[in-house]
Amino acid sequence: MTDPICISDLPDQIADLPFAPFREGVDIYHITQGAPAVALLRYAPGARIPLHRHAGLETIFVLEGAQSDERGTYPKGSLVVNPVGSTHSVWSNEGCVVLIQWERPVEFLD
Q: pLDDT tens-digit profile of 46-96?
A: 999 999 999 999 999 999 999 999 999 999 999 999 999 999 999 999 999
**Phi and psi at residue 6, in whole multiples of 5°?**
-135, 125
Residue type, 108: F
The domain segmentation of the chain, as residue ranges, is 27-108
Q: How confident is the model at residue 6 (pLDDT cuts 50, 70, 90)?
A: confident
pLDDT score of 11 = 85
pLDDT score of 10 = 87
Element (H or E) spanning 63, and its range?
A: strand 58-69
**Class in CATH terms, 27-108:** mainly beta
On average, the pLDDT of the chain sits at 93
Written as one string, the DSSP assignment of 11-45 is HHHGGGS--EEEETTEEEEEEE-SSSEEEEEEEPT
| pTM, full prediction | 0.92
